[in-house]
Amino acid sequence: MAKQAVARKPARRSDFLTAIPFVLPALIGLTIFVLIPGIRGVYLAFTSYDVFTDPIFIGIDNFVKMFQDELFWNALAVTSEYVAINIGIQTVVSLFIAVLLHRFTRSTLIRGIVLMPYLISNVIVALVWYWLLDYNLGLVNSVIDFLGLSKFTFFSDMTAMPTIALINVWRHMGYTALLIFAGLQAIPEDVYAAASVDGAGEWRTFRSITLPLLRPVLAFVLVITITGSFQIFDTVAVTTGGGPINATRVFSLWIADKAWGDFNFGYASAISVFLMVLLSIIAFAQTKLLRASESDLER
């Protein structure tokens, strides 16, 4: 640590000047597409705005209305349900696939196959599963019926959210597995060799070596996937469209409804701001709790 601080000191000023041209392109994009709309969105959250007339400043009215809106609590509940099922299952399955890939195969072909669902467009995945899982015409229920079991309604108000969460587990598990797999490859072989010499089995090796050394990568993967998961939109929009009743009216869909359906852009911005704050808190908490910036690999 001390050595780094000494080395950095004289270089600081010239670094800044050199950095500008490198940062500039990204900075322009960030300013135009993230900062300006972001700040404007925060401003709009405190206004009544229907796009056609100028925004009217109304203070925190939108937020007061939001916390009293039963659809807000509904959105929070169903989105959380989605995230819990999606992330919970996806992380376990991906970790399992990644460890399998790491321990038992060197084949690029298999790694490619694992990634395949992710290469298909979200909308197509959603549409195909919607057909496959249809109560009356779907292949899945035909098989269930053939086996003599009673058919299952995959898109009822009780099952629609879990079904959609699992469709996205199917699509994303390979991609997440590859991210974790990259982390596994960073773990030195000699640690495993040492464990093997000490007589550790697969489970013990996984629990005492793989998992602790994978922690920073897992933390990164969780921050990315949870943030992405909270923003679920396309699969719901293509399949249930928020129904039955409001069982799948997740945040993003609700925001789009309010903005483009009701032209209530002020209110929609307020909900978006809430979602942004919520995600920031979650991401920050995760990074802290999982100590994502530190690694146990330093020796």
Partner 1 sequence: MKFLKATAAVVTAAALVGGMSVVAQAAPKASGTITYGLWDSNQKAGYVACAAGFKKATGVTVKVEQIGWDDYWTKVNAGFVSGKGYDVFTSHLAFFPEFAAKKQILPLNSYIKRDKVVVDATYQPGLAALWRDPKGVQYGLPKDFDTIAVFYNKQLTDAAGVSAKTMSSLTWNPTDGGTYEKTIAHLTVDKNGKRGDEAGFDKTKVATYGIWMEGSGGGDGQTQWSFLAASNGWKVNDGPWNNNFHYDSPKLAATIKWWHSLSEKGYMPTFAQQNGVGWSDQLAAGKVAMATNGSWMTGSVFGAKSDKFTPALAPTPVGPTGKRASMYNGLADNIYKGTKNPEAAWQWVKYLGSAACQDVIASKAVVFPAIPSSTKKAVAAFTKKGIDVNPFYVHITGKTTFLFPIGDKKSQRNDIINPVMDSIMSGKSDVSALVEMNTKVKALFK
> Shortest CA distance to 235 belongs to which of 172, 177, 277, 179?
172
Kindly tell me which of 246 and 286 has the beta carbon lying closer to partner 1. Answer: 246
DSSP H helices in the chain: 2-8, 12-30, 36-44, 61-68, 70-104, 108-119, 122-132, 139-146, 160-185, 189-197, 202-205, 211-230, 234-238, 251-256, 265-289
Whose Cβ is closer to partner 1: residue 155's or residue 220's? 155
Smallest distance, Å, CB 158 to partner 1? 8
Rounded to whole angstroms, the Cα distance separating 189 from 121 reads: 37
261: helix, strand or coil: helix
Distance CA 205, CA 230 (A): 33
Helix (H) or strand (E) run with residue 48 in it: strand 47-48
Output the smallest distance, CB 154 to partner 1, in A. Answer: 8
Q: CB of residue 243 vs partner 1: minimum separation in angstroms?
A: 7
Q: Which two tokens stand for residue 42?
A: 């925060």
With respect to partner 1, which residue has the nearer C-beta, 164 or 173? 164
> In the bound complex, what is the minimum distance in angstroms from residue 42's beta carbon to partner 1?
19
Contact indicator for 99, 206 with CB cutoff of 8 Å: yes
Residues that bind partner 1 (CB under 8 A): 50-52, 130-131, 133-138, 150, 153-157, 159-160, 240, 243-246, 260-263
* C-beta of 99 vs 259, nearer to partner 1: 259
Outline where 147-238 has alpha helix (H): 160-185, 189-197, 202-205, 211-230, 234-238
Residue (14 or 68) nearer to partner 1, CB: 68
Cβ proximity to partner 1: between 172 and 249 the closer is: 249
Q: Which is nearer to partner 1, 48 or 153 (CB)?
A: 153
Closest distance between partner 1 and the C-beta of residue 73, in Å?
14
Rounded to the nearest whole angstrom, what is the least distance from the CB of residue 135 to partner 1 in the complex?
A: 4
Q: How far is the CB of 207 from partner 1 (least distance, A)?
A: 42
| DSSP 8-state code for residue 33 | I
Contact 49, 55 (CB under 8 A): yes
Give, in degrees to the nearest 5, the angle at Cα 133 between 130 and 137.
Answer: 100
